[in-house]
Every structure is written in C-alpha cells, then in structure tokens.
Amino acid sequence: MNLKSSRKRLLLTFLIFSCYIGYSYSVQENNVVAGKSAAMANTSVTLTDVWSIYNNQAGLGYIQNITIGAFHQSGFVKEQNLQGIAFALPTKTGTIGASYSYYGYSQYNEMQAGIAFGRSFTKYFSLGIQINYLHTQIAGNYGNASSVNFELGILSQPIDNLLIGAHVYNPSRSKMGEEKMPTIYNLGISYLFSDKVLFAIGTEKDLDHEAIFKAGLDYKLIEFVSLQAGISTNPSKYSFGIGFHYKSIDANVGFLKHQTLGFTPSFTLSYGF
C-alpha cells in the first residue's frame, strides 16, 4: 500500500469517526432541527408547529393548516451537516405528519423517515405517536444497517397559557445492527406571559448519559420579528436566534454555541396553506 493510499484511508477513517461522533451528538439531542428550538436551547417539547414532528408529535394536534417545511443544520465540518423536510396535514380525526432527514455525506450517512399522528382531544390535552425507519450506510466494505423505532408524546394545558409536555424517543430500546440506539426522555414546561413573551424550561435524559437542563426565551420584538435565547447544561451551551414571520411564512435562524467546539447554526423555513 503506497503513502497516498494510506493517507486516503486515514482521512476516510477520521471523517467516518467524526461523523459518528456528530451523529451520536445529534441523536442524543434529536430535536435540534428547527431554528427556533435550537435558538431556545432545545426547549421545544411544548412548541406546537410543523416541527413538532421532530420535537413532540402531540403538538401536531393543534395545527390548523396544511404546512410544509425544510431545515438545514450545519455541523462542525460539512460532513456533519443535517437537513430534512416536514409535512403536516390536519384532518377531522387528527393531524398526519411525515418527515425525512439526512445526515452525513457520500462516505458515511444516516437517514431517518417518519410517519406521525397527533390528536388534540380538547384544548387542554393532546397525544402523538411516530414510527421511524432508519438506515445507516458506510462506503467500501463497511456495509450498512437498518432499523425501526417509534416515539410518543403528550401535551397538557391545565390552565390558560401554561403548557406541560413529555416525549420519549425509542422507548423500545431498538438497535441499529448490534448497537442500541439511544432512548431519550424529554420533559418541559412553558408559559406565555403575554402575546410577546414565552418562557420555557425543560430536562432531557438519555438513559446512557447525564441529564441535561435547559431554559429558553422567545420575545416578539415587532409584528414580523421575534428573538430567541437559551442556555443548557452537560455540557454548557448557549444559544440565540431570530425569527421572521409574514402571513403564512415562517423563517428562523438559530445558533447553538458549544463551549469548546463553537457555533452550530440551524435554519428553517415553513409555509402554511
């Protein structure tokens, strides 16, 4: 084997390893997709929009219009980029949702496709469920693997302006090949102090990692512009972002700052019919 070939193999190994680390990080926080939730330090379990399909499917039950959306999250290197789409279709019995996300690049990538259903039984209570198909591919002779898992969510509004949400990802402890995929629990509370200020707190627990505590704020600056900020622990991270809202169009940009690795930007765009 010549030196040039050895360098190529070393580079490929490094990129695959870095993507694996990045994906483990993103799966551990599998709701870091929407710009708004990323800007609010991932305090997204009580948000009710098309991105509920990634954060808490119970939120789909409150969607009133057909909505489509796309997102892009930049990794610390371009091989760690994550992007995807979301779709929500309200019906008389509840809201049907679909999602697709892709992580990585040609030499190493992971795909997840999901079908979801959320239903509100009253304005005070809703439930949601999603089934996911996941596929991992590594170039060369490393092979690929596929798996199926599911997730569940619940939302409650015991009093006006107060929302309590809970969500679990992969409660069945499904595996990808021989490796167990993470099981992640999310619990959060948000309160709408006025038509301008939303404050949210939450905790996230991967069964194999320490709990994460987080808090986020959404502030409506003017009619079409909102600002977000947040903080979370384990490790310490700070976030901020801005949203633009015009008629049925919503665009959000969020930045999550890791204390060592730097900023991770996220962008989302959605449209309601």
One DSSP character per residue, 86-151 reads EEEEE-SS-EEEEEEEEEEETTEEEEEEEEEEEEEEETTEEEEEEEEEEEEEETGGGEEEEEEEEE
- At residue 52, the pLDDT reads 96
pTM for the structure as a whole: 0.85
Query: Which two three-digit tokens encode residue 45?
Result: 């379990």
pLDDT at residue 18 greater than cutoff 50 = no
- At residue 178, the pLDDT reads 83
pLDDT band for position 33 (50/70/90)?
low
- The CATH label, of 3.40.50.150, 3.20.20.150, 2.40.160.60, 2.170.8.10, for the domain at 3-272 is 2.40.160.60
- At residue 122, the pLDDT reads 87
Residues 6+ apart with CB under 8 A from 47: 34, 36, 37, 55, 56, 59, 190
**Mean pLDDT, rounded, for 35-48:** 93
Q: Which of 81-85, 138-142, 234-238 has the lowest mean pLDDT?
A: 138-142
- At residue 34, the pLDDT reads 74
